[in-house]
Every structure is written in structure tokens, then in C-alpha cells.
Amino acid sequence: MNRFTIPRDIYFGENALDVLKTLEGTKAALVIGGSSVKKNGNLDKIQQLLSEANIETKVIDGITTEPTTQMVKKGVRILNDFQPDWVIGIGGGSVMDAAKAMWLFYEHPELTFEEATRPFSLPRLRTRAKFVGIPTTSGSASEISNLSVITDAETGVKYPLADFELTPDMAIIDPIMVQSMPKHVTAYSGMDAITHSIEAYVAKPRTIFTDSLAIEAAQVLKENLLASYHGDAKAREQVHDAQAMAGMAFANAVLGNVHSLSHKSGPIFNIPHGCANAIYLPYVIQFNRTVVEERYAAIAKRLGLNGENNKELVDSLIAWIRDLNNKMNIPNTLQEYGVSEETFTAHVDEMAANAVKDPCTSTNPRETSVEEMKKLYIAAFYGLDVNF
């Protein structure tokens, strides 16, 4: 039996934020990152709309890096004092992930972080509050997904919390929230969305539902991401919708080794998640093509890339990703990003061992050993072709 779960309500397009006026409740905690959502006036607009629904608000800010267990605990203390019946994440993936984790431990204070990291084993939520996701970047699709990625403050290791209970009750995908995105954020989050669409299309639990969303999202992203990067407002709205479609796909088909590699190396090398995905994606495609070449070829064909056969089509897909990275000033190797050989060598064994344990590895289309994961890291560091 298969399952397909997305938020009960998804509001998108111009003025989607207006739905906040219809929420029923008394208090809403607004989890945000830094000051951008304040400076551009969007936080004021959201608070005004909620006040029209007679909902009191409290802002929890400071999620300016990828979230840690310490940040989550601090937020939970504020939630316990405020006692909201809505938790609203307003930001990029890190903010939304932090908000979801705060919501989880607000609902279940007895739960330990170790227990929460066991995939699809969370207790029921929504006994104290419901969740709304409002993205300010176009990539993570955390407003759609059943995931929350949190870094263990003590070990520095990233853990995905995965359970359908974490699926938001409502997603609001309003283009006004992303019109002031900086170019590098547009690039990194856009490559995150492309990675989601490609990994979901080849993941083991894929279905006809996830396939249709993944491949359409990939096409919309190909047609619009570069224009969005250069500031085209209409293209930016298209990318904002497409990343949510990719989110619906991966939330149900899950992901693969690109995310496993990123989760375990990002915090160590201080690489933003979307940038890490952009680096690793071509190498993982090379690794996986031995078992799902026809799937990658189907994506390439849908994107209108050149190739007379599956091999040529997949080669074109890899070349297109690397060319897109170049055009958006994203490095294609860890070394190019600035990771030193000394630092890489010191951590690669640990990263490989941890990446194999990542939940995304279990849904990668090709089985992966610790030694193979290490070889993938080495290939991505030096820019070597994957032929193992």
C-alpha cells in the first residue's frame, strides 16, 4: 500500500497571505530568521492579517543559521510560556525546520531528541497547536514536507526528523515573500529544488503521483531558475510554485545520496545546504546511473536536452547541472568551495560513516557502502568522475 500526504490546504499566487485573516484561534507564535522579513515589511503584513482574525502574535527570531537542538529548546521555552494554538514558520528551510521541531517538542515535552530522530515513529501532533509554513526562499519546500533537519549541538551531526505528523496543516506560497531574495539564496535554494525533483524521480519509494510532480517541477525549474536568478519577477513566482511541487514529490518518495552527503558535510564545512546539493548532484547521478539510467534519461528528455540514447541523455543532464552551477556562481567541487585538503581528510571517514546511516541513503536507488560513500566524497572534493 502506498501513501501520499501533503498539507490539507495549499494557498499560492498573489495575495495568498490573505488567508491568514480566516484562521481560527487566539494566539500564534511566528518563528522567523533574521531581520529581512522585518525590513521588507512582510512580518508587519502577516501580523496585521492575523490581528484581523483577532489572533495575538509573538515573534521568535534569531534562526540565522541551520537550526540546532539548542535553538529548538530555547524556542520551546517561549512556546510553553506563550501557549499558542498556531505555530507559523516564516522563512527558508532552516527557519521552517526549527519551527517544526519547536512545535514537536511543545506538543511532546517528554520526547527526547534521540527518540525524535527515529524515522516515522513520532506520536500524534495537533493536541496543542497547528502548523502553517510560509516560505521566504524557493527550494526547501519545508512548508510542504514531513521533514525537519536539526543539527545535534553536541556532535555537530545533522539529523532529519521524518514523520507524516510533521506535514504542515497549511502552506502559504505567496510570491511577495521571495521578491527580495538575494541572488546567492536564489541560486542555492533553486538547486535544492532541482535536487529534490531529480532525487524523488529515482528514489526507491517513487510512485506515479510523485513522478508526475517531480518531472513537471524539473521542467518548470529549467525554464525559469536562471531568469529568477537574474531578477525576473514572473520567473521567480514560477520557481516558487515549482519548488513546492518538488516538495510534494520528495515528501512522499523521499530522497537519496545527495542529501545524505550534504546532511553530514554541510555543518562541518559550513556549506549552505542548497550549495552542497548542487556540488554533489552530478557525482551521485554518475554513481546511480548504473541502476536507474533510464530514469535520468527520461528527465533529460523531458528537459529537452540532447542525446541519441540513454547514456548521451544522462551525460547531457550532468553537463546541464554543472553549467547551471557555473552560471549562478556555484562551485562544482568541495575544493573549489574552499574546503582545504587537510580539513577534508580529517573528516571524510566520519562523514562517510554517518552519511550511510542517514535515512535518505535507504531510499537511494543504488545500495551504498561506507567505502562507496567515502569515494563519493573524494570525487566531489577533487572533481573526479565516478566510475565505481
Q: What fold, for 183-382?
A: Dehydroquinate synthase-like, alpha domain (1.20.1090)
Amino acid (1-letter code) at residue 114: E
**60-78: string of b/e by CB count within 10 Å (b at 16+)?**
bbebeebbbbebbeebbeb
Locate 152 and state its grid cell: 545535534
The model carries a pTM of 0.94
DSSP sequence for 75-110: HHHHHHHH--SEEEEEESHHHHHHHHHHHHHHH-TT
Per DSSP, the three-state class of 379 is helix
Residue 18 is predicted with a pLDDT of 98
Question: Residue 139: which residues within 8 A CB-CB, separation 6 or more?
Answer: 92, 93, 188, 189, 190, 191, 192, 193, 196, 243, 274
Answer CATH for 9-177 from 2.60.40.10, 3.40.50.1970, 3.40.50.300, 3.20.20.70: 3.40.50.1970
Q: Exposed e or buried b for every residue in 88-108, given b needs 16+ CB within 10 A?
A: bbbbbbbbbbbbbbbbbbbbb
* Consecutive 10-residue averages of pLDDT for the chain (388 residues): 96 97 97 90 96 97 88 96 98 94 97 90 96 96 92 80 95 96 96 98 98 98 98 97 97 96 93 96 98 98 98 98 98 98 97 95 98 98 97
Could you give the strand order of the β-sheet that contains 56-60, starting from the edge strand earlier in sequence?
A: 9-12, 170-173, 130-135, 86-91, 27-31, 56-60
- Measuring CA to CA, which residue among 94, 248, 56, 71 is closest to residue 171? 248
pLDDT at 304: 98
| Separation CA 330–CA 229 (nearest Å) | 12
- DSSP for 106-140, written as a single string: HH-TT--HHHHTSTT-PPP--SS-EEEEEESSSS-
The helix/strand count (H/E) of the chain reads as 15, 8
User: 13: part of which helix (H) or strand (E)?
Assistant: none
What pLDDT shows up at residue 360? Answer: 93
CB neighbour list of residue 176: distance below 8 Å, 6 or more residues apart: 14, 17, 42
Q: Which three cell numbers stand for residue 242?
A: 515549482
* pLDDT at residue 64 in the model: 82
**Residue 154 pLDDT:** 82
Q: What residue has cell string 506535514?
A: 167
Domains in the chain: boundaries: 9-177, 183-382
Q: Enter the DSSP assignment of 59.
A: E
